[in-house]
Structure 1
């Protein structure tokens, strides 16, 4: 198990620590001696932070303390703090997309503080906030998308850091779900959804249409339909490549060349298992994000389809070598 400070300095930096009061200490101040809390899990501004009073969440990942700037929340560099690495490459993909090109070249002249945010007037290409959370209106004031603080309101697929892209969970309490293998996943190892764990087809359709509505405020219907067709094809392709890697891993466990679920061992500590994780956590993720945001090479050579194919071949050769 990782040390608490390691967790707080890595995963929980973005996901959020549990901040607890463990006592008080006295300090001299300009106003005399005062008592201050001794906190564990602090400092932290992770979005899922559990606060000492039992409340959950933090505003500061998007709106930093003191200024609470809506401009900051609307700029993609803010999202990059937690969505930049190979496991969630949203920001690097956005930077090389046409939308990212426009933001980099023209964004200095856009109005990032206006409420509501008018497409074609205040901004000329979407940032992360425009697609996912902001109140967007047309030039005539017609509402394109209502404001939300639920980041998946307009997302029909869960792409991030999961073996298989799938519909979003019905409940955010995903740790309560276990698949047939006893793993805390919303899908089985072959990609089938866990019964009752995911939103239905109709809810997916509603969310997809919300996102399409944002796209249609600038693009034609043929452009938007073509984009979503390619995006869902990329989801299907990346899921198949994850399934192929999973079948190799299951063969390794079955033949005894690696020890995993069947042996009550960790499924993350052997080379072939680590390569299985890389298959979906890095390469499938990158392929999906690149397709979702038209991020060009991140879906091909920069941790995309090329890496999906070569990593799969390396897993297969590793299996055959160890079976000899």
Structure 2
């Protein structure tokens, strides 16, 4: 019904414009033209503002009417957007972006981070706000709907959200430099030389085919799938899963497995993995042959295995230091390295291990899928090998200093 009313309002606005009758300004517009003029300018420049079918109160409610009752203004959520954009909302809700805030609750040391860093959106929270938040964190941050992470306020432009630069803020830097990988690949180079001609694929071309807001990939953020038919590779995977705390040191599942499921950061069935792979191949095949696409993606898969081999050895070495009692676990924690403590790791060797996993392993395999051989090599595989040499050396030194035999 709301959608119908808004359509009717849009039609009425069009009739009035054609007839030369000026639209009456709402109280919101009249006031905020003075208080926040650029917000009003953005809104009126966007399709919703131009149509006349949506007013500020459509998203912010009618309780706030003056400077005396600002606290009554309603901050929109993804449910607000769903009233008119049901298809896009439901696609988003079934995808990984909607689960982005799960990671904020899953990281074991986030509880000790400065408030501004997570809830205040000045650190990890600034990108992970694209996920659905609980009521407490939503009220705490007051950042509104996740949709405006891509369709920025108050213009909410579809054209803007379709450009690759819209993804740049979050998908760059230390652990996921997809922007740098793509923009320096041949795909990105063509885009920058020719502009948005459609010849070169952008982030949206591959990850949001036909406007699908699901944004899922075969491997997920951790590049893990279960089961793994390759027995050797599965052995590497088990070690990595122990390092992530998804399996305990004995190889039994922990409560973190539920977080992996909720966050959709791994693929937990062959069917789920294959469905995403088939979808990507169909996108690649619009420009390349199917065989070429399968070969390229298959070679990228193997880069994950090569990275996992080095990663598993490094985790095993550090785990051995715990087993010998050279490294001591925190109270209540298992005697095993925890990759999810990130920069809060307590020893230099574990700091190297976390960088190896979160920076260099990520670059080795993500660079492969984004067609950037330099990232795969010099920022990925070469750094992984360097990390492993340092870990071997540091472990030997710690073992010698402790009086243990090798």
After TM superposition, the score normalised by the length of structure 1 is: 0.70
Aligned mate of 1:97, from 165, 168, 185: 185
Residue in structure 2 matching 1:316, options 392, 397, 400: 392
Taking structure 2 as the reference length, what is the TM-score of the superposition?
A: 0.57
Q: How does 1:161-310 map to 2 (within 5 A)?
A: 162=222, 165-167=223-225, 186=246, 198-260=267-329, 261-262=333-334, 268-301=345-378, 303-310=379-386
Please name the residue that 2:219 is paired with: 157
Partner of 2:29: none
CA distance change for structure 1 residues 103 and 191 in 2, over 3 Å: closer, same or farther?
Answer: farther
Match of 1:15 in 2: 128
Aligned residue for 2:172, secondary structure, equals coil
C-alpha distance in 2, partners of 1:157/1:214?
16
The residue that corresponds to 2:141 in the other structure is: 41
Q: In structure 2, what is the Cα distance between the partners aligned to 1:257 and 1:88?
A: 33
Are the counterparts in 1 of residues 176 and 362 from structure 2 also a CA contact under 8 Å?
Answer: yes
Shift of 1:94: 0.4
Gaps of 5+ in 1: 23-38, 45-50, 52-56, 111-122, 136-146, 169-178
Please state whether the residue corresponding to 2:219 is helix, strand or coil: coil
Which of 191-200 and 265-274 deviates more?
191-200
Q: Counterpart in 2 of 1:131? A: 206
Partner in structure 2 of residue 106 of structure 1: 194
How large is the RMSD of aligned CA atoms in angstroms?
A: 3.4
Please say if residues 164 and 202 of structure 2, whose CA atoms lie closer than 8 Å, have aligned partners that are also in contact: yes
Aligned-partner SS, 2:384? helix
Cα pair 2:249 2:334 within 8 Å, conserved: no
Q: How far did 1:203 drift?
A: 2.3
Structure 2 residue matching 1:300: 3-state secondary structure: helix
Computing the radius of gyration from Cα coordinates, the structure with the larger value is 2
Aligned mates of 1:186, 1:309 — CA distance in 2:
25
Query: What are the equivalent positions in structure 2 for 1:58-69 lying under 5 Å apart?
Result: 58-69=146-157
Distance 1:9 1:58, change over 3 A: same
1:262 CA drift (Å): 3.6
1:186 Cα offset (Å): 4.9
**Rounded Cα–Cα distance in structure 1 between residues aligned with 2:283 and 2:251:** 30
SS in 1 for 2:146: coil
The alpha-carbon distance between structure 1 residues 281 and 318, as it changes in their structure 2 partners (threshold 3 A), is same
**Alignment size in residue pairs:** 257
Can you give the 5+ residue segments of structure 2 that lack an aligned partner in the other structure?
Answer: 1-111, 227-238, 262-266, 401-406
Q: Distance in 2 between matches of 1:181 and 1:231?
A: 21
